[in-house]
Structures are given as C-alpha cells and as structure tokens.
Amino acid sequence: MAAFDAVFVGAGINSLAGAALLARDGWRVCVLERADRLGGCIRTSTDLTAPGFTHEVLASWHPLFTGSAAYAELKDELERRGLEYLNTDLPTASAYPDGTSAFLTTSLEDNVAELDRHATGDGAAWARMFEEFMANADLAFGALSAELWSPAGLALGRKALRRLGRRGTLAYLADALVSCRDWLGETFASEQAHGLLAPWVLHTGLGPDQAMSGFMTQVIACALQLGGMPVPRGGGVVLVDALAGIVRDAGGELRTEADVERILVSDGRATAVRLADGEVIRAERAIVASVTPTQLYGRLLGGGEAPADVAAEAARYRYGRGAMQIHLALGEPPEWDGDERLARTAIVHVTPGLDGVSRAVNEAERGLLPAEATIVCGQPCAVDPSRAPEGSWIVWIQLQELPAGRIKGDAAGELDVGDGTWTEELREAYADRIVERLGRHIRNLERATLKRVALAPPDLEALNPNLVGGDIYAGSCALDQNLLFRPLAHAPGHRTPVERLWHIGASTHPGPGLGAGSGYLVSKELTKPPLPRRLLARVPVVGR
C-alpha cells in the first residue's frame, strides 16, 4: 500500500498549488486525477480546431492567479520552470448594438477620461470609487482570501471595527450587500458605463440584481485596473506543468486516470483513499478533496461517515446557471466595427447593456434560452500572439446565461428545444445565433472562420464533473452559499466533520476562479506550527 503525507483528490488549480506549497515544505504528496490530464479547468488544447491553434478549452484568463498569495510565494520557482505571464493595458471593453463601445484600461487617468467621454462627471465618479475602495481594499480582498471561520477571520473583523467603528462597519457591510444595478445607478450617469461593468457580475456567478453583486463589481473593476488581464505565454498548460514540476522535484506523485471511488475513514479520521480499480493509497496526515459537496458527502463519503445534517445539506447544494463555450479559429485578425481598440482588447462583452444582462439572466433562470445573451468575446491573441499562426486569430466565446437543467423554451421564439435536453442540433443552432450576432460587430467573422467548436453545458460537465449542469462556478454563488456559508452552513470553511479530511475547490471559499485561494489556505493550515509552539514564539526573549 502506497503512503504519502497528503493525498489530493482532483488536480485543479487549488490542488496543484496546495500540493506544490506542501511539497516545498517537505511533505510527500500525491495528486490523483480521474481525467487524462492535470489542470482541472485549465485545459489547453492544440487539436481542438485547426493545426497551429492553441485553445484554452475552459478557463483562459489568469488575473486571479497573478494576484494570489500562492503565486507570490511560488513565482520564482514557477518562472524557473518556464512560466511567463504576458499582459495588456486594454483588459476589457463592451460593444453595444448601435456601434458604440466603452473601455476599461489599466490607467486611472485613461479610465477617468474614457468615462467622462460618455457622461461628464462619470470620470470623477470612477476616481472617487477607486479611491474609496482602495482605502479599505485590505478588508475587501481580505474577506475574499482569508479563512473566515478562523482566528484570521475574527482578526479581519476586529480590524474593521478598529478602523471604521461599529456604525461604520455596519454601513460597510450594508454597502457590500447592494446589487450591481443599484450601485451603478447611484454612481454613474451613462448607460455605457453601466454596460461596461455589469457583464463582469456574470464572472462572479451572480446576476446584476442579486445581493452583493455591486460589491463584486467594484472588486473586479478595481482589480482590472490594477492587474490587467494576464495569460501565460503558450497557454495555461505551462502553469500546470510548472506546478506539477515542483511536486515531482520534491518526490511527490501526480497520477492521471486515477478515479478515487471512496475516502476511507477509521474512528472518525480519514486514513486513505480507494481507487475504482481497488488500489488503496494511505494518507498519513491529510486528505484534501477538490470536489463538489455532493461528490464529497455522497460518492466519496457515502457510508455514513459524515453527520446526517451535513450529508443532507450537501444533497441540497444548489448549482447555478449553465454555460456554453464557442471556439473559433480565424485565418485573419478580426475587423471590428467602431473603435479600433476593440481589436486589441482581451475581453469584449457584446451586450445591449445593464438591462440586457439582467434580462438574459432572468430568462436563463426561468429555464429559457436568452434572446440576447451576453457574449463574452475573448481574444487571447491580443495578449499572446503565439497562440495562433502568424496572421491568424482565436476567438474564445463564453456564454454564462443558460438554464440549469431542463430547457423550457426559447425566449426569442426561434428554436425548437424539443424535450428540453441539449442535442447537437440545438447546440449548433444556438451557437449560430451567437456567432451571427457577433458577426454584426466583426465584419469579416464569417469569411475568416476556419473552424468552429461549440460546447454545451453537458459537454462542459463531461470535461469536468465539478461543473454540474455546465455550472462553471461549481455551485450557486448566491449569498446563502457564499462567504461564511460556502460550501455549507453546517460545514463552512475547509475543515470537514471528518478529522484530517479537508475540502477545497470552487465549491468552497473563496469560490471559483484561478486564484488558488482554497488550496493556499489549506496548505498553510496544515503546515502551521502546533499551538504550544505558536504561543512560545510570542514570548519575548530577555536580552534580545
């Protein structure tokens, strides 16, 4: 029976970063992945469309990782293994049906001028928002990166009380619950500013009318100005290989096509995992599972090892809207209508604006295919030209407003949804609608397209079982399943009711994305000195 200090179930960014950090600290770790490759939602492919095109099949953009604590600690080692990040001063824009557009850059001065271009005073409002947010950025980013159910979370609360006072802290929390619609309406006059920022709410798993969406909009807006939209040269696989290299060089193992069937528990303590082929791998100090709550408390702990209330809540865990991706290989660069900067922007949202985003979210949540979905048009070659042959281009389309589960109809009244399940015909028909709309903004899109590959929600789940129903955020991010309550109110944070078993991944705090937050937090918890040593370290030494 093989034995390791820690065994990771799943090989997404949180497992790889956590395993690399533990391996660097002397732990012998094993990472087990049921798929045929490491990386989870970092899935780089060179054979998806045409020869010479490097596509990111799922996650594509790395601002959360380059701003993460894990990257800060591992940066030198990752760079020695070939990781190089490229960036842009044009991270995002929105293109509107009337041919106008609005941009967000990495320059405060340019953003002030851009927003003033649409409505006098909106530039000053942007500068004021940025200044006020940054004054308490440590609280905002702390809440999104600390283990909230821990002394660190309590310390963050004490810091807020000392700085803001009781009333100020209460006002800060109230402001954090405001919807994106209310915040935008109170802050900016122009519809263009609303339409520039509202689509980013979708990237947090929320809609613009939900609680806390206004706060998340500010977090993303400020992060984009501060950090741009970086990508690894050559694709996300370079990051995956670099993290895996750290583990291997320290004597750890990473295995693909290793399907964990059960976590073995003895006397309330997780001791080993059993693979589908019957092999047992022992964990001396920790098992770290990067899975959804339904997988963890159902399939992996299905023998009554978890308390009944936790297992019951896990069975009720809600998944969010479905998503779709469309990958286009173009034989020439895009010819955007309107502002020439659109062709140099990393992510362009094609949208009618705030009301359009709200309407599409509402239609999806009512089980309908949206009539006018928000098109997330990613252009990785604008940042990393090596992704395609010279003179060619890649368009990475993400759609985040699709029904969860059965499709009840088409809001536009154009498509026959049949029995409500995704078929190849329905997938391609819906992709036709999206590409035709995008073609109204990119004049040469039809002529330039060499090949198109569309992935419907079931296709995404087939690539990664954590994306249940095509939910790319591995669970609804509504307030009752977020922050202090993620993943479960009965089992918040990353400790589980089973001793030595830890829960990480997008279903846990701080949520989805490539920030590696949960893997980092658990690695630090596992390597924390025992309490007596921590207390002794605080005792002053006489004469020092």
Domain extents for the chain?
2-42+236-317+477-532, 43-62+85-106+318-475, 110-198+207-215
The string of pLDDT tens digits covering residues 440-488 is: 999 999 999 999 999 999 999 999 999 999 999 999 999 999 999 999 9
Distance CA 515, CA 39 (A): 13
Q: What is the pTM of this model?
A: 0.94
Quote the pLDDT of residue 83.
98
Is residue 544 very low, low, confident or very high in pLDDT (cuts 50, 70, 90)? very low
The answer for 395, left when phi > 0, alpha when psi is -120 to 50, beta otherwise, is beta
Please provide the DSSP assignment of 401-413 as one string.
EE-SSS--EETTS
**Fold for domain 43-62+85-106+318-475?**
Polyamine Oxidase; Chain A, domain 2 (3.90.660)
Rounded to whole angstroms, the Cα distance separating 314 from 296 reads: 8
Per-residue confidence band for 537, with pLDDT thresholds at 50, 70 and 90: low
- The topology (CATH level 3) of 2-42+236-317+477-532 is FAD/NAD(P)-binding domain (3.50.50)
Q: Which residue has the tokens 């409002």?
A: 125
Q: What pLDDT is recorded for position 476?
A: 96
Q: Is the pLDDT of residue 90 over 50?
A: yes
10-61 pLDDT tens trace: 999 999 999 999 999 999 999 999 999 999 999 999 999 999 999 999 999 9
pLDDT confidence tier of residue 541, bands split at 50, 70 and 90:
low
Q: Write out the two tokens for 334.
A: 């895009």
Q: What are the DSSP E strand ranges found in 336-444? A: 347-350, 368-369, 375-378, 393-402, 409-410
In whole angstroms, what is the distance from residue 13 CA to residue 341 CA? 32
CA distance 364 to 243: 37
